[in-house]
């Protein structure tokens, strides 16, 4: 069997990647113990779908964290979700959509559009690109992200409205978690890797936003991140 190579965007602020999708995959790989080599990519331009993360394995290149996990599940015969009921599978998928298709974009707005945050974040997200090139790429990348935000729909709202949306998502995650150790109960499952990848990238990074404040105020979310870290990143 050839080596599994995982390409992810750079880490910072104590996290292996500042991309929630890359951190999700990293967390999933730790959860399932699949041996692999992690490679940091300065940009996602070499990815099959031009987004990170992506993997190479046995002559195949696969993009998209969800399709990568589908592949790993069958190829390596691992499934942290195997004991979930159909209803729990449904709930986990709904949480995944909330996190990846909605909350994610509020984080993107705070990092890429809010001017003060962008001045910090551009040097983090493009930190692997040498300096003259970095300053050429930065405005183009920012323009493309603004277009993606508008295409998604969230980008037409005001900052206050976007923060209202993000705070509501974070509060819902906190309510669903409740006093359980993990989202589906006592045992970590895929949705915990997804929640960790996203929530760590909001709550544990120095990008000030009302959404981070809401998450930190909901005490069970920082406690969840601690618990997850102790288990997989100690
Ligand atoms: N659905 C994809 C989303 C991946 C994604 O959006 N990755 C971002 C980094 S967090 C990216 O590479 N963006 C580059 C771009 O949009 O140009 C997944 O689950 O992997």
Q: How far is the CA of 99 from the centre of ligand 1 (A)?
A: 13
Pocket test for ligand 1, best of 52, 62, 104, 107 (most atoms within 8 A of CB): 52
CATH of the domain at 224: 1.20.1050.10
Q: Please report the atom of ligand 1 found closest to the CA of residue 44.
A: 12
Residue nearest to atom 13 of ligand 1 (CA): 51
Q: How far is the CA of 102 from the centre of ligand 1 (A)?
A: 13
Angstrom distances, CA of residue 43 to CA of 46, 47, 51, 211: 8, 9, 9, 27
Q: How far is the CA of 196 from the centre of ligand 1 (A)?
A: 16
Give me the long-range contacts of 141-145 (CB less than 8 A, separation at least 24): 142/112, 142/113, 142/118, 145/108, 145/112, 145/113
Q: How far is the CA of 211 from the centre of ligand 1 (A)?
A: 21
In a domain, 29, yes or no: yes
**Pocket flag, ligand 1, residue 7 (CB < 6 Å):** no
pLDDT higher than 90, residue 1: no
Residue nearest to atom 17 of ligand 1 (CA): 51
In a domain, 104, yes or no: yes
Cα–Cα dist 69/234, whole Å: 23
Q: Are 175 and 206 in the same domain?
A: yes
pTM exceeds 0.95, yes or no: yes
Q: Per residue in 25-39, pLDDT tens?
A: 999 999 999 999 999
Cα–Cα dist 114/49, whole Å: 27
Domain extent, residue 49, equals: 5-75
pLDDT score for 2: 87
Average pLDDT over residues 157-173: 98
Tell me the two tokens of residue 229: 């870290």
In a domain, 81, yes or no: no
Q: Please report the atom of ligand 1 found closest to the CA of residue 141.
A: 17
Q: How far apart are the first and last CA of the chain?
A: 29
In a domain, 80, yes or no: no
Residue nearest to atom 1 of ligand 1 (CA): 64
Tally of structural domains, the chain: 2
Q: Per residue in 177-216, pLDDT tens?
A: 999 999 999 999 999 999 999 999 999 999 999 999 999 9
Q: Using the 3D structure, point to which of 75, 97, 112 is the last residue of a domain.
A: 75
Chain-wide mean pLDDT for the chain?
97
**Pocket flag, ligand 1, residue 52 (CB < 6 Å):** yes
pLDDT higher than 80, residue 12: yes
Q: Per residue in 36-68, pLDDT tens?
A: 999 999 999 999 999 999 999 999 999 999 999
Angstrom distances, CA of residue 173 to CA of 21, 54, 166, 192: 18, 27, 11, 11
Q: Are 37 and 110 in the same domain?
A: no
**What does 112-162 look like in DSSP terms, one character per residue?**
HTSHHHHHHHHHHHTTTS-HHHHHHHHHHHHHHHHHHHHHHSGGGS-HHHH
Give me the long-range contacts of 173-182 (CB less than 8 A, separation at least 24): 173/95, 173/98, 173/99, 173/103, 173/199, 173/221, 174/215, 174/218, 174/220, 174/221, 176/91, 176/95, 177/220, 177/221, 177/224, 178/220, 179/220, 181/224, 181/227, 182/224, 182/227
């Amino acid at each position: 069997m050839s080596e599994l190579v995982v390409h992810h965007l750079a880490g910072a602020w104590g996290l292996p990647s500042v991309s929630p999708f890359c951190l999700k995959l990293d967390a999933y790989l730790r959860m399932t113990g699949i041996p692999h080599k992690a490679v940091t990519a300065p940009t996602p331009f070499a990815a099959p779908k031009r987004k990170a993360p992506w993997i190479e394995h046995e002559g195949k290149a696969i993009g998209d964290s969800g399709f990568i996990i589908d592949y790993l599940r069958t190829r390596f015969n691992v499934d942290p979700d195997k004991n979930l009921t159909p209803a729990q599978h449904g709930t986990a998928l709904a949480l995944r959509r909330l996190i990846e298709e909605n909350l994610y974009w509020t984080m993107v707005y705070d990092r890429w559009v809010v001017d003060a945050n962008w001045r910090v974040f551009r040097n983090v997200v493009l930190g692997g690109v040498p300096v003259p090139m970095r300053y050429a790429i930065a405005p183009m990348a920012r323009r493309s992200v603004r277009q993606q935000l508008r295409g998604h729909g969230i980008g037409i709202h005001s900052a206050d409205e976007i923060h209202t949306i993000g705070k509501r998502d974070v509060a819902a995650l906190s309510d669903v978690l409740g006093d359980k150790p993990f989202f589906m109960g006592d045992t970590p499952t895929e949705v915990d890797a997804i929640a960790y990848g996203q929530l760590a990238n909001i709550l544990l990074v120095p990008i000030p936003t009302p959404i981070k404040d809401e998450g930190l105020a909901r005490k069970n979310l920082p406690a969840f991140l601690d618990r997850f870290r102790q288990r997989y990143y100690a």
